């Protein structure tokens, strides 16, 4: 018969809870990485994004633009905005794993040169939240 004092029990229990948390943190789960960026003038620009998680597959990229509050729309010169991922930042874990850790977004905006717009974006996919992976 094994007898355990209360301190040994607490230590053992805390170690088991820590192990469970570590296992859960490695388990893949759905994740979203949203962001907002001010686009100061029309033209082309690149935006570097680092993810706080590691996506196990290529995440879905969605985006939209909005006009800064107080900007005036001119008929015939209404601004437009487009954005796409031009490059993925990855980490390879051989032999078969690739994790997506960030992206480079390219924006193209048209309209009056001084027009200020906000790019709203979101990356969605399956990710690991434990940065030690």
Decide if 109 is inside a domain: yes
Which pLDDT band holds residue 20 (cuts at 50, 70, 90)?
low
pLDDT value at position 1?
47
pLDDT at 92: 87
Quote the mean pLDDT of the chain.
85
Residue 107 lies in a domain: yes
Report how far residue 100's alpha carbon sits from residue 62's, in angstroms, rounded to the nearest whole number. Answer: 16
In a domain, 17, yes or no: no
In a domain, 123, yes or no: yes
**Contacts from 48-53 at CB under 8 Å and sequence distance 24+?**
48/102, 48/104, 49/102, 49/103, 49/104, 49/105, 49/121, 49/123, 50/89, 50/101, 50/102, 51/100, 51/101, 51/102, 51/103, 51/123, 51/127, 53/127, 53/128, 53/129
User: Could you tell me the CATH number of the domain that includes residue 99?
Assistant: 2.60.40.2080
pLDDT of 23 strictly over 70: no
Query: In the prediction, which pLDDT does 61 show?
Result: 97
Residue 84 lies in a domain: yes
**Distance (Å, rounded) from C-alpha 7 to C-alpha 9?**
5
Domain that includes residue 89, residue range: 28-128
Say whether pLDDT at 101 is over 60.
yes
pLDDT per residue as tens digits for the range 28-87: 778 999 999 999 888 999 999 999 988 989 999 999 999 988 888 888 888 999 999 999
- For the chain, the domain total comes to 1
Tokens of 60: 């879905």
């Amino acid at each position: 018969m094994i007898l355990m004092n209360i301190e040994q029990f607490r230590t053992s229990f805390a170690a088991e809870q820590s192990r469970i948390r570590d296992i859960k943190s490695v388990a893949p789960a759905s994740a979203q990485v949203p962001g907002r960026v001010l686009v100061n003038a029309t033209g082309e620009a690149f935006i570097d994004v680092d993810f706080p998680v590691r996506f196990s597959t290529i995440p879905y990229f969605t985006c939209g633009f909005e006009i800064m509050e107080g900007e005036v729309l001119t008929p015939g010169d209404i601004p437009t905005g487009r954005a796409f991922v031009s490059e993925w930042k990855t980490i390879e874990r051989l032999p078969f794993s690739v994790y997506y850790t960030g992206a480079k977004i390219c924006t193209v905006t048209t309209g009056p040169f001084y027009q200020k717009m906000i790019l709203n974006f979101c990356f969605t996919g399956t990710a690991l939240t434990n940065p030690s992976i």
